[in-house]
Amino acid sequence: MSNATDAAAPLSDVTVWYLEQTSPADLRPAGAPEGPVTVVRAETALPEFSRFLYTAVGGDIRWTDRLGLTYAQWQEILERPGTETWVAYESGTPAGFIELEPQDDGAVEIAYFGLIPAFRGRRIGGHLLSYGVARAWDLAERHPERTPTKRVWLHTCSNDGPHAMDNYLRRGFRLYDTRTEQEPDVANPGPWPGAHA
């Protein structure tokens, strides 16, 4: 979801839904997709790779809030204690990612989650979300300085893909808040300038 503002762009209403799990038992894992899909943690905080994933996944669904960040700002985000990026690969090709951001109160936010368009509709999203949520619940095992996870939460919006909300609900997330916000009505940027021209 984009939080960017652009004074020149007209504003449009966007519905934002907030969802949570409050116990590891809430997670209802999806079945494994067909084919050679693996999920691997990107253990090196590499802004180039993170920005590639962000633009490739979010370019057609208006992810714009990080597009203006400098290299140093990307690095700072990725190096926050406990922040993790897990990447799904199909036959060695990145298919999507999930970014986990722990917070001081024992909550872990799913800051970003999604698939590159070519990999949508192939049951990879449910598998990646299931895997990523499980890693949110056991995050303190890899980062002993973090408080054990008590809650996993995320937000999605009406600009996201048509199957996003259903995937979250099927994995055991519960809706706890709904808001309407105004965001600039900007064209989808695509994975790089001119990609959809």
Give the number of C-alpha atoms closer than 13 A to the C-alpha of residue 125, restricted to the C-beta side.
23
Of 32-36, 51-55, 101-105, 169-173, minimum mean pLDDT range: 32-36
Pairing of strands 93-102, 84-90: antiparallel
Q: Which CATH architecture has domain 11-184?
A: 3-Layer(aba) Sandwich (3.40)
What phi, psi does 66 have (nearest 5°)?
A: -100, -5
Residue 108, number of CB atoms within 10 A of its CB? 28
Q: Please state the length of the chain.
A: 197
List pLDDT tens digits, range 101-151.
Answer: 999 999 999 999 999 999 998 999 999 999 999 999 999 999 999 999 999
**The token pair that represents 54 in the structure block:** 């962000």
Chain-centroid distance, C-alpha 2: 12
Q: pTM for the whole thing?
A: 0.89
Secondary structure class of 100 (helix, strand, coil):
strand
Domain ranges of the chain: 11-184
